[in-house]
Structure 1
Amino acid sequence: MELKQIAAYLLNKKGTTEETPFGPEALVYKVMGKMFALVAWEADPLTLTLKCEPGQALLLRDIYPAVLPGYHMNKTHWNTITLEGTIPAAELWGMIDDSYELVVQSLTRAQRATLLS
């Protein structure tokens, strides 16, 4: 999977912005100012860090060797995925969708209303 595909999918999520608060080597994707994805685009292979429900995070780590506890993140709530082609694209898109939805659900009612308007 290439950076262009990942970035396009992430940026297609409503209200998503791309920032580089940790330096140019890490692209951070936020919705309403809250991070839901981080792409280490200079890593070889590319890595993607996503928010995840704790139980689901453990399950994904058991199923896919390319899914690891979140690098430099709260390891209970974040997974880092090494994009080496071992995870089906549909599964990866689902992980991104879940991460985005988790963050949207954590927004205040006013923030969600702004996002949906």
Structure 2
Amino acid sequence: MITRNEIFQHAQEKYGTSPDYPFQKFPTYAALRHASSKKWYALIMNVLPEKVGLEGTEEIDIINLKCPPEISASLRNEDNILPGYHMNKENWISVVLHRTDPEGDMYNLMEQSYDLTK
């Protein structure tokens, strides 16, 4: 399992960015943005599992990341990588944090999103 705090720490160390909370209606939704352009490269949200096609009743943390359309479909595994929630599903994926191995590809996906959104 990887946590939002671990992602925030990685973003600070690797990209020098800290989360901001742009949605008054959703005060726990955290955007990670490029320092210069303010475009976000990641958005962490807590949602009900049914919102992303999963079962369960307790909120889960997901992170939306930009992904090249030619590989986004092949990454989706219906377990921890899903079509981007509330985003263009060709270009974005949602990763379920509590189902993601911190030693896995999470930070590679995050770097890819950072590069694609420059």
- Mark yes or no: TM-score above 0.5: yes
Give the match for residue 8 of structure 1.
Answer: 9
**Matching residue within 51, 57, 74 for 1:59:** 74
* Counterparts in 2 of 1:15 and 1:9: CA distance versus 1, 3 Å: closer
SS at match of 2:85: coil
Query: Amino acid of the residue matched to residue 3 of structure 1?
Result: R
Contact between 2:3 and 2:98, CA under 8 Å: does it hold in 1? no
Query: Amino acid of the residue matched to residue 56 of structure 1?
Result: I
Count of aligned pairs? 103
- Any idea what the Cα deviations from partners look like across 1:63-85, whole Å, max 9, x if unmatched? 46211111111111111111123
**Matching residue within 25, 39, 42 for 1:37:** 42
Query: Amino acid of the residue matched to residue 30 of structure 1?
Result: R
Contact between 2:45 and 2:61, CA under 8 Å: does it hold in 1? yes
Give the match for residue 46 of structure 1.
Answer: 61
- Any idea what the Cα deviations from partners look like across 1:4-39, whole Å, max 9, x if unmatched? 111111222335342211231200011021110001
Structure with the larger helix share: 1
Contact between 2:80 and 2:99, CA under 8 Å: does it hold in 1? no
Task: Give the CA RMSD over aligned residues.
Answer: 2.1
Cα distance in 2, alignment partners of residues 86 and 11 from structure 1: 20
Give the match for residue 93 of structure 1.
Answer: 107
Cα distance in 2, alignment partners of residues 14 and 81 from structure 1: 20
User: Which consecutive residues of structure 2, in runs of 5 or more, have no partner in the other structure?
Assistant: 49-58
Over the matched positions of the two proteins, sequence identity in percent amounts to: 30
SS at match of 1:16: coil
* Counterparts in 2 of 1:15 and 1:4: CA distance versus 1, 3 Å: closer
User: Which consecutive residues of structure 1, in runs of 5 or more, have no partner in the other structure?
Assistant: 105-117
State yes or no: 1:27 paired with 2:42. Answer: no
SS at match of 1:12: helix
Query: Amino acid of the residue matched to residue 43 of structure 2?
Result: L
Cα distance in 2, alignment partners of residues 86 and 14 from structure 1: 21
